[in-house]
Amino acid sequence: MNPVRVRFAPSPTGALHIGGVRTALYNFLLARQTGGTFILRIEDTDQTRYVPGAEAYILESLAWVGIQVDEGVGVGGPHAPYRQSERKALYKPFAEQLVAKGYAYYAFDTEAELEAQRERFKAAGSSTFQYGSQTRMQMVNSLTLAPAETALRLQRGDEHVIRLNVPADETIHLHDLIRGDVQVHSSQIDDKVLMKSDGMPTYHLANVVDDHLMQISHVIRGEEWLPSAPLHVLLYRFLGWADTMPQFAHLPLLLKPDGHGKLSKRDADQMGFPIFPLDWTDPKTRELAKGFRESGYLPEALVNFLAFLGWNPGTEQELFSLDQLINAFRLERIGKAGARFDIQKAKWFNQQYLKHKPTSELTPFLKTELAARGLPIIEEKVARAVGILQERITFPHDLWTEGMFLFVAPTAYDESVAAKKWNAEAVAVIRAYQEALANQDHLSATTAKDLLEQTTQALHIGTGKILQALRLAVTGRGAGPDLMVSMEIIGREGVVARLAHALNTLTVKT
Ligand code: GLU
């Protein structure tokens, strides 16, 4: 078997969206698993859709998620350059070779003539105009013009394109590793432009020529390219490369979070699906929700989530490091059915990864928040706080929102909890508890708990009945991490002061 050489071939037309990152990831996994090569090629032949900054965005996104490029833009390699605009001169001879063999032809139709044809078809109520086997003989091209006329026009430099001469009546077969045999009748395919009048190749020609020259073994890309694949099969055959044609795998669509319809760029913009926000496109997208990176997703959690959008290992295991994915990934286990993009699942993965992170990797997030507020940073306290918070958070910034009460006394109390739980019994226990605490010289979670038990027993009140009121007094909230450990972290003096403040501030509603 030839070595695996796969490529990710984005067009720099905007932010790299999440579907693109998945495509890159699957290519990368196959390359790493087989000891093959992962190539990054930038397909920028459509100058009208070029967005400055998009290429840098793609490179940064891949680097952030941990996908390393072996060969390609930003790295170099034996097939450089890897930016199609820089390979411009290379494509034309192939197009001309196709013309010489009768597989393609020069077409001189002006935009006005093409438009007139479209109008004629519309007026006649027939199907929409397609430049192809049914119509090409009525158009202005090297098939209908006398050879001398064609030669003259070319010599004069008349504007023209080169179109593929698609066979009139043929079933084109394509074996897709995910979908099996895919068949398309050639009448469905129009005579696609291969070379544009500006001298640039179109996507189809450049893509096939480069995949061949770069010795690509597998083309793994989104389902939206499946309709183009039969055309590419024809091109491989006409260029004499059918024997070394890459294998195709068209990945399942990503569906909207509710499962209805395709996940669109618009969904992505609105819900913040790019890796990080764009500040270089139009003002509308500047408003966009944060990207994954800014929202606080860990790259390893995002990768794990993306791997499961279309693939599964066939076991119950859900948490996979990148190395484990490299081992477990199989192209054959990618499904055909669309994969629902469920952001809740992405959050679940993030929670799992945060939970299992060494505390030391998360303390910086909390320290930054403390520093920003001019609060003292006591290493041991920060580490302990992260320790009790990390299994409760979805994003690193939740460390502060969930755990600020460990560092600053509440200035307000959750009113609904107060209304339900702040009663005469609670006040009696908390007052007695405050006195008992005042006589302690050190507060540990165990002594906090023992003292509370003693206090409630002496007053014949069940601990469970007043626990939420105590939490309210200490934290201002009705829920949070282990209260006894929280009190130990806050420290005896802090807790006593908080209880006193709550007793002075909160009133028992009768
Ligand atoms: N340039 C195409 C894109 O932007 C690549 C399609 C392919 O992988 O063949 O998605």
Rounded Cα distance between 489 and 296, Å, is: 26
Q: Provide the pLDDT for residue 273.
A: 67
Question: Is ligand 1 within 6 A of the CB of residue 84?
Answer: no
How would you write 289-358 as a 3-class SS string?
CCCHHHHCCCHHHHHHHHHCCCECCCCCCCCCCHHHHHHHCCHHHECCCCEECCHHHHHHHHHHHHHCCC
Q: How sure is the predictor about 175, in pLDDT bands with cuts at 50, 70 and 90?
A: very high
Atom of ligand 1 nearest to the CA of 8: 8
Rounded Cα distance between 22 and 258, Å, is: 19
Q: How far, in Å, is the centroid of ligand 1 from the Cα of 117?
A: 30
Question: Any idea which residue has 């139709």 for tokens?
Answer: 109
DSSP code, position 182: E
- With CA atoms as reference, report the closest residue to 444 among 497, 380, 487: 487
Pairing of the two strands 37-40 and 71-72? parallel
Q: How sure is the predictor about 284, in pLDDT bands with cuts at 50, 70 and 90?
A: low
Length, in residues, of the chain: 510
Q: Provide the pLDDT for residue 429.
A: 98
Beta strand extents in 17-93 (DSSP E only): 37-40, 71-72
- Cβ atoms of 22 and 310 within 8 Å: the answer is yes
**For residue 183, what are the β-bridge partners?**
173
Rounded Cα distance between 348 and 301, Å, is: 9
Q: How far, in Å, is the centroid of ligand 1 from the Cα of 267?
A: 20
Q: Provide the pLDDT for residue 279.
A: 55
Question: What mean pLDDT comes out for the span 219-248?
Answer: 97
Q: Provide the pLDDT for residue 280.
A: 47
Question: Is ligand 1 within 6 A of the CB of residue 425?
Answer: no
Q: How sure is the predictor about 213, in pLDDT bands with cuts at 50, 70 and 90?
A: very high
- Cβ atoms of 2 and 217 within 8 Å: the answer is yes
- Cβ atoms of 55 and 9 within 8 Å: the answer is no
Range scoring the smallest mean pLDDT among 144-158, 261-275, 366-380, 422-436:
261-275
Rounded Cα distance between 275 and 22, Å, is: 12
Q: Residue 507: helix, strand or coil by DSSP?
A: coil
Positive or negative torsion for Cα 127, 132, 134, 140? positive
Q: How far, in Å, is the centroid of ligand 1 from the Cα of 68?
A: 19
pLDDT of 325 strictly over 50? yes
Q: Provide the pLDDT for residue 474.
A: 98
Rounded Cα distance between 402 and 389, Å, is: 7
Joined tokens for residue 351: 């929670």
Question: Is ligand 1 within 6 A of the CB of residue 133?
Answer: no
- With CA atoms as reference, report the closest residue to 209 among 55, 87, 107, 37: 87
Give the side-chain half-sphere CA count within 13 A for 253: 14
Question: Is ligand 1 within 6 A of the CB of residue 221?
Answer: yes
Q: How sure is the predictor about 271, in pLDDT bands with cuts at 50, 70 and 90?
A: low
Q: How far apart are the first and last CA of the chain?
A: 82
Atom of ligand 1 nearest to the CA of 203: 1
Q: What share of the chain is helix, strand, coil (3-state, %, to 5)?
A: 50, 10, 40
Question: What mean pLDDT comes out for the span 144-157?
Answer: 98
Q: How sure is the predictor about 209, in pLDDT bands with cuts at 50, 70 and 90?
A: very high
Q: Provide the pLDDT for residue 17.
A: 83
Q: Whose CA is nearest to atom 5 of ligand 1?
A: 9
Q: What is the rounded average pLDDT for all residues in the chain?
A: 94
- Cβ atoms of 241 and 233 within 8 Å: the answer is no
Q: What is the pLDDT of residues 77-123, one digit of tens each?
A: 999 999 999 999 999 999 999 999 999 999 999 999 999 999 999 89
Q: Provide the pLDDT for residue 52.
A: 85
Q: How sure is the predictor about 234, in pLDDT bands with cuts at 50, 70 and 90?
A: very high
**For residue 104, what are the β-bridge partners?**
164
Atom of ligand 1 nearest to the CA of 9: 5
Q: What is the pLDDT of residues 48-87, one digit of tens each?
A: 888 888 999 899 999 999 999 999 999 999 999 999 999 9
Joined tokens for residue 397: 């910034």
Burial (CB < 10 A; 0-12, 13-18, 19+), residue 412, is exposed
Range scoring the smallest mean pLDDT among 211-220, 281-290, 306-315, 416-425:
281-290
Which residues are designated catalytic?
Answer: 265
- Cβ atoms of 190 and 263 within 8 Å: the answer is no
Question: Is ligand 1 within 6 A of the CB of residue 10?
Answer: yes
What CA–CA distances, in Å, run from 300 to 63, 276, 292, 294, 309?
Answer: 12, 15, 12, 15, 15
Q: Provide the pLDDT for residue 291.
A: 82
Question: Is ligand 1 within 6 A of the CB of residue 9?
Answer: yes
Backbone angles phi, psi at 83, to 5 degrees: -100, 120
**For residue 427, what are the β-bridge partners?**
none
Residue to substitute in 6, 207, 250 for testing ligand 1 pocket (most ligand atoms within 8 angstroms of CB): 207
